[in-house]
Amino acid sequence: MRKNRIGYIVLGAILAILLFNSYFILDETQQAIVTQFGKPVGEPRTSPGINFKTPFLHKVQFFDKRYLEWDGDKNQVPTKDKKFIFVDTYARWEITNPLQFFIRLRDERSAQSRLDDILDGETRNAIASHDLLDLVRSTNRDPEITEDFMEEIEILDDITVGRDKIEAIVLQKANERTTDLGVRILDFRFKRMNYVDEVRDRVYDRMISERNRIADQFRSEGQGRARSIEGNKERDLAQIQSEAFKEAEEIKGKADAEATNIYASAYNKNRQSIELYKFLRTMESFEKSMDENTSIVLSTDSEFFKYLRKLN
C-alpha cells in the first residue's frame, strides 16, 4: 500500500513537470517562435494567451512586440560643401517577422549592431550628398526680424531639399536594406548637429565679430545723436541768452527813459529845491573828505568855488 502511494506521488510529479513544460504564455507585449535543436518549428506565435509545445524537446524564443529604440553614436561627418559636423541620430524600429528575425539576427543585441551599420552608413551617405544648409533647415521661411539692426543680416539662401526630406531619404534607404531582416524602421531623426571644435571656434569668432560690429554701429549712432543734441542745446542756449539780453536792454532803456522823464519833470516843478539839494550834497562831500588841517586849491569853475562866491 505504501509503495503504491509513493508510485502515485512520483507519477503525479512527472505529469506535473510534463504539463508545466508543455505550454507557455504570451502577453500583449511579446511574440515568440518555437525551436527544436536550435531550428524554428512551425509559425511564429504572435497572439497573446496560452500556447502549447512539446515538453523538453521544444524551446521558446521570446521577442518584444513593442516599438524599440535605436540611439546612434555621435559621428564626425563631412557635408557636400566640405564642412565637418558632428551628427547624433536616433530611430524607432519594430520586429515585424519574428521568424525571419530569428533566422537572420537571432536576438535584439545583434539587431542593434546591424542597425548601427545600416543607419550610420545611410546617414553618412545622406549628409555627404547635401549641403549644410539643407541639413539644418526644413523650409525657406525668412528669418523673423525683431530688432532694427537685424535688417542688415543677410537673407539665407534657399534650400533645395531640407532636413525633413533628408531624414525621409535615410529612413527609406534603411528600410530597403532591412526588408530581409524581419524588422521595420518606423522613424528616423537627427537628434543633434554641431560643428567640430575647430569650425565651431571660427563660427563663434565670426558671431562675436558681427555682434561687435553691431555694437560699434550703435555706439557711433549714439555719439552722433549726442553731438546733435549738444549742438541743439548750445544753439538754443545762445538764442535764449541773446533774447534775454535783448529784452533786458530794452527794459533798462525804458527804465532809463522813464527815470529821465521823472528827473526832468521834478526839475521843472521845483528848480530851487534841486539847487539846494545839489548844494547840500556838495557840502557834505567836502565835509567828509576834509578836516581842519586840509588845504585845498580851487579852480574858478569848480562847484564849491561857485557856491562860496555866491555866499560872498
Q: Say if residues 77 and 166 touch (Cβ distance below 8 Å).
A: no
Model pLDDT, residue 310: 58
Q: Which segment of 97-106, 140-149, 206-215, 293-302 scores lowest on mean pLDDT?
A: 140-149
Domain with CATH 3.30.479.30 in the chain: 68-195
- Phi, psi of 26, deg, nearest 5: -105, 130
Residue 34 region, left (φ>0) first, then alpha (ψ -120 to 50), else beta? beta
Chain centroid to CA 281: how far? 88
Write down the pTM of the prediction: 0.60
Between the two ends of the chain, the Cα-to-Cα distance in Å is 189
113-145: pLDDT as tens digits: 999 999 999 999 999 999 888 888 888 876 666
What CATH number was assigned to the domain covering residues 68-195? 3.30.479.30
What value does the mean pLDDT of the chain take?
Answer: 81
Model pLDDT, residue 245: 86
237-281: pLDDT as tens digits: 888 888 888 888 888 888 878 877 776 676 666 655 666 666 766
